[in-house]
Amino acid sequence: MTLPAPFAALAPSRLRANAPLAPYTTFKIGGPADWLYEATSADDLAAAIAAARAAGLPWFVLGLGATILVGDKGVRGLVIRNLASAHTLSDAGLLWSESGAVVQDLVLETARAGWSGLEHYIGIPSTVGGALWQNLHFLSPAPERERTMFISEVFSDCEILTEDGERRVVDAEYSQFGYDDTVFHHRRDIVLSARFQLSADDPARLHRVLQENLSWRGSRHPWLQVHPSAGSIFKKIEGIGAGRLIDQCGLKGVRVGDAQISHIHANILVNLGHATAADVRTLIAQAQHAVKDRFGHELSVEIGFVGEF
């Protein structure tokens, strides 16, 4: 495959042609990218996007690949794997991080240092960029904090590369944080780095919270290390629950190929080993039709479909 001229500015050792994407998603499903580039800093990420734009190629930024399904035919153009993970924590609890940093790593580091604000997101696979893209949230199980926690609650600001190619710092008003929704769903702006204001707390208490949250998640969600998945497949239906409806249709454990509706959580589809994107799409449609026929509810998919199917 001929190297597009604008790619000459990128590190050649981190640029590959016809690269499989399945290993870089939590579902472990997906065909190859025409080009895959590993960006190791915010500047590198911005340069890769600029190169794709200059070459007239479609592009996609990939974090941990936790809430997407990549098509079996792969992705055309350039996929940029965001490995930009530099971060600093000030004595006042202000955390600055590049957007490719893994949230779990930041959770552990800040909890050890006695800073609260990220501990609710332990065990959720996400980068900082992905967390801001979806306004990462978690329903805390503890009685004293039994509510949904959103990462926007500790967000200060972020530097973005706008869809017009401008680098600028934006605040929460610009970001338009909602439930599973932000401005980044509707504009081709990319988060390069972000700042979060944390609060001082007892490290022992924070570690207790980490353990509680991990235990809660472990008892209700299939383990990614055993059964790869993309998390919840369908959007929340207020007061009802998509998973509950699927369960009441008797679909837990139903499989198509190596894709299966989890026995543990009916709103999660798992890869038993060799599932294809086509298997997953067929199973999604089966769940949608069953719920529609029995209950009249429309199940809306909340994961992203990337590439060609």
Q: Dump pLDDT digits (tens) for 21-40.
A: 999 999 999 999 999 999 99
- How many CB atoms neighbour CB 300 within 10 A? 12
Fold of 229-306: 3.90.78
Taking domain 5-82, whether its CATH number is 3.30.43.10 is answered by yes
Which residues of the chain fall short of a pLDDT of 50?
none
With b meaning 16 or more CB within 10 Å and e meaning fewer, what string describes 200-218? ebeeeebeebbebbeebee
Domain ranges in the chain are 5-82, 87-220, 229-306
pTM for the full predicted model: 0.94
Question: CA 212, CA 285: separation in Å to the nearest integer?
Answer: 35
Q: Where are the alpha helices (DSSP H) in 114-231?
A: 128-134, 172-175, 203-220
Tell me the torsion sign for CA atoms 179, 127, 105, 212: positive
Fold of 87-220: 3.30.465
pLDDT, tens digit, 9 for 90 and up, residues 227-284: 999 999 999 888 889 999 999 999 999 999 999 999 999 999 999 999 999 999 999 9
Contact in structure between 201 and 114 (CB atoms under 8 Å): yes
